[in-house]
Structure 1
């Protein structure tokens, strides 16, 4: 299994903006066949070094992760995230 984690820091760090963007990510659930697990969490610490949203997804293989990357639903999410994020980091590993 492949775990794909992305952390997002938003331009607008208001609770409303964070909640709306977290919902955009959650809305992928059930829409992408190769997506085996989806978890979205919002930061509760709110420190200077905190990121606002964590996305944790799991896939059966690297090929499945590749399919996810180009899926139309994910591409719409990427468009949204490109507009609202200040920065992001990701990590992918075998789990």
Structure 2
């Protein structure tokens, strides 16, 4: 199992923007065959260290993650759509 975690900090973390990004991330479910599990979470603590939204994705193997990373749906319908909303992101892959 290969796990890919991303934390997102939005430029303007309004409820509307957070909801839009959350919905866009969730749209990957069922649209990318390599993606075996997708969890999307919105921060509730809102501390100085907090990021606004996080995802946990799981794949059978690293190669499947690499295919997902360049998948047309992921690139065109997710990355490009949420990109303008992002201030920063961090990843962890294992």
Tell me the TM-score normalised to structure 1 length.
0.95
Measured in 2, the distance between the counterparts of 1:49 and 1:73 equals 31
Partner of 1:10: 10
Measured in 1, the distance between the counterparts of 2:26 and 2:13 equals 18
Off by >3 Å, runs of 4+ in structure 1: none
Unaligned runs of 5+ residues in structure 2 are none
Partner of 2:29: 29
CA RMSD of aligned residues (A): 0.7
| Count of matched residue pairs | 93
Tell me the TM-score normalised to structure 2 length.
0.96
